[in-house]
Amino acid sequence: MGKNLSYTAVGLDRAHHRRRDDAWIAGRRADEKTRIVPVWRDRSLISPGAATIEGTPGDTPEAVLLDGKEAQALLAEADHVTLLGLDGDTAYFAADISERDDSARDALAGGGEFHDLRRVGALMAGPEAALLAYARGFMHWHRGHVFCGLCGNPTESHDGGHRRRCANAEDPHNHFPRTDPAVIMLVSHDNPQGNGPACLLGRQSRWAEGMYSTLAGFVEPGETLEEAVAREVLEESGVRVANVEYKASQPWPFPSSLMLGFRVRAETTDIEIDDREVEDAQWFRPEQVRSFGEWGAATPGEKRLPRKDSISRWLIEGWLEDVGA
Ligand SMILES: [Zn+2]
């Protein structure tokens, strides 16, 4: 199906075999070619004056990476550092400076501005957005694991930032980067309302006005992906599904999800929403979905599509292609 998903294909060699070589890591950190992806309180460093998807005018956002003296200054101040990988013989690291106040942060920022990737990612070139997403996800994990969740001791970073080990003298616990699986599914039916094929979209009250999206939810312990898909659709809409077909996945580090995208067929068509989870769910015919406004740009009262960088949008566009005109 269609175009590449946002935040995928970061394009670095993750250098898995070198991570445990502390001397090699130290050499890469000190190399003046090394490029740093700075993160401050989950925000990414972007070219100044960049546009945002809420419609703020500005230039196309570009990632600001630091190298040379700027990189060394930032690494010296960083609370957390992770080797992201190699591009040829150039190493990339993420460095978190969340503990710095605004002025210390700006002094280290090399002329960029820190923005929430959710506000600029959809406007960026794919590999850059993927690199920022990768760095953001890693730094979020480090910040949330400075103490051991099992014994409460402080933890230390190892393996180039790919493992944290706690200071428990008797039995140190190892912690590895986490990502939370979430299922997201385009539910379709050939003829739910007697006028041709339609897909099931819903909305939550906290979303942007008028936005409808595919249903989604987190996978629970003891559950297969197929079971999670069926449970979430039933809980949110009252619709029973079958033929759960995997389509694609997307890292979604807001803060730490991996979205697993599916196409599923509805076996029942009556909708009964759980209003604790969704505010509304409806069957929409292709021509209705095509008339939706753009995320962030719809006129009041108009329904709108999910954001362009989301797998929800990708699943909807794939379905529209498949059902044709
Ligand atoms: Zn521990």
Q: What distance lies between CA 89 and its chain's CA centroid?
A: 27
Helix%, strand%, coil% for the chain, nearest 5:
25, 30, 45
- Find the 147 Cα to ligand 1 centroid distance in Å: 8
**pLDDT at residue 1, as a whole number:** 45
- Find the 155 Cα to ligand 1 centroid distance in Å: 8
Tens-place pLDDT, residues 54-91: 777 889 999 999 999 999 999 999 999 999 999 999 99
- Find the 145 Cα to ligand 1 centroid distance in Å: 11
- Find the 266 Cα to ligand 1 centroid distance in Å: 46
Write the burial class of residue 231 (CB in 10 Å: 0-12 exposed, 13-18 middle, 19+ buried): middle
**pLDDT at residue 3, as a whole number:** 67
29 SS3 class: helix
In order of 171, 290, 323, the CA distances from 197 in angstroms are: 58, 14, 8
CA atoms within 13 A on the CB side of 78: 26
- Cα separation, 202 vs 193, in Å, equals 17
| CATH T-level topology, domain 180-323 | Nucleoside Triphosphate Pyrophosphohydrolase (3.90.79)
- Find the 162 Cα to ligand 1 centroid distance in Å: 17
- Cα separation, 64 vs 70, in Å, equals 12
Q: What are the residues whose beta carbons fall under 8 Å from the beta carbon of 281, sequence distance 6 or more?
A: 200, 201, 202, 203, 215, 236, 237, 271, 273
**pLDDT at residue 277, as a whole number:** 83
- Find the 26 Cα to ligand 1 centroid distance in Å: 26
**pLDDT at residue 208, as a whole number:** 86
- Find the 153 Cα to ligand 1 centroid distance in Å: 6
Strand order in the sheet with 163-166: 155-158, 163-166, 174-175
- Extents of the domains making up the chain: 16-143, 180-323
- Find the 170 Cα to ligand 1 centroid distance in Å: 9
**pLDDT at residue 283, as a whole number:** 98
Residues with pLDDT less than 50, the chain: 1-2
